[in-house]
Amino acid sequence: MEYMEVKGYANAADWVYREGIQPSSYDPGNHITMQDVRHIHQLVMSPVWEIEPHPDATPREGPGSFRQHEIEEFSSGMKPVTWPLVDGEMSTWLARVNMIIPRSLTFPEEIAKAHRDFEAIHPFLDGNGRAGRLVLNLILVRMGYPPAIIFKGERKKYLRALRRADSGEYGALGELIARAILDNLYKFVVPAIAGPARLIPLAALANDEFNATALRAAANRGALQATKGSDGQWRSSRQWVNEYSVSRYQRRN
């Protein structure tokens, strides 16, 4: 069963991230459509559903279909909307999301509110967390941002921020999403487009051998060739980091 959950999420994630490169169902007037939301859930849940469908599901509540059951109040105290209102609440949610301005100063809090509101509606009988995070990332890639991937080590912090958002405090969740976007920008996007000799922030050069802190320490003591900009940020290149790695290996031997 766990394998099927991973497979479903991988299928949906692959579709979402390909949409950021080569859109197949993009409506130029909207960041996301109801069809997109349903399609993500269908991809996420179908492998699991084929083996073990939800025991309470009616034939009209399968993957990609909105729930027709009430959801119990969560431990945090938040109770999802009653099921007859799901269609209307989702239409309102879509309208609000499609009004978000990507490069505005209020963007982090607005995208955090959009994510929280989706989870509060809880439109599907099961799989809302997985689908909701992928819906968030589809919105982000459609807006030209890297996806915000919440890793396992950040899960508790993410859930705490989500609970705060339930009470109307969106700052913590907005900051967490923004940091996740920047982390992916530095880890994957910047290194992919930068040549081996191009100067980029040390955070974008971190790898399994050297984390960003170790690289900063090496730059500060002059062991790693790097330059410090007027903004106080160290920059180096993949070529210089590779040379530093080789020199450390030679010294050890």
Specify the 3-state DSSP secondary structure of 67. Answer: coil
* pLDDT score of 103: 87
- Cα angle value 149/151/156 (rounded, 5°): 115
Given a cut of 70, whether residue 230 has pLDDT beyond it is no
Global model pTM greater than 0.85: no
The Cα 32–Cα 223 span in angstroms is: 48
Q: Does residue 12 have a pLDDT over 90?
A: yes
Q: Model confidence at 109, in pLDDT bands (50, 70, 90)?
A: very high
Q: Which of 20-24, 80-84, 130-134 has the lowest mean pLDDT?
A: 20-24
- Distance of alpha carbon 235 from alpha carbon 211, whole angstroms: 14
At 168-196, the pLDDT tens digits run 999 999 999 998 988 777 666 555 555 66
Domains by residue range for the chain, with CATH: 2-189 (1.10.3290.10), 194-252 (no CATH)
Q: Which of 31, 39, 54, 122 is catalytic?
A: 122
User: Using CA atoms, how far apart are residues 211 and 214, in angstroms rounded to an integer?
Assistant: 5
Mean per-residue pLDDT over the chain, rounded: 88
In this structure, what token pair is assigned to residue 178?
Answer: 């923004």
Catalytic residue list contains 122: yes
Residue among 93, 72, 89, 80 at smallest CA distance from 120? 80
Q: How far apart are CA 79 and CA 121, in angstroms?
A: 9
Q: Are 52 and 45 in contact (CB under 8 A)?
A: no
The predicted-structure confidence for 115-134, as pLDDT tens digits, reads as follows 999 999 999 999 999 999 99
pLDDT of residue 190: 56
φ, ψ of residue 201 to 5 degrees: the values are -55, 150
Closest to 206 measured CA to CA, from 190, 223, 222, 193 = 190
Query: What Å distances lie between residue 219 and 113, 202, 236, 242, 252, CA to CA?
Result: 39, 9, 9, 13, 19
Q: pLDDT tens across 145-156, in order?
A: 888 988 888 899
Rama region for 222: left / alpha / beta (φ>0; ψ in -120 to 50; rest): left
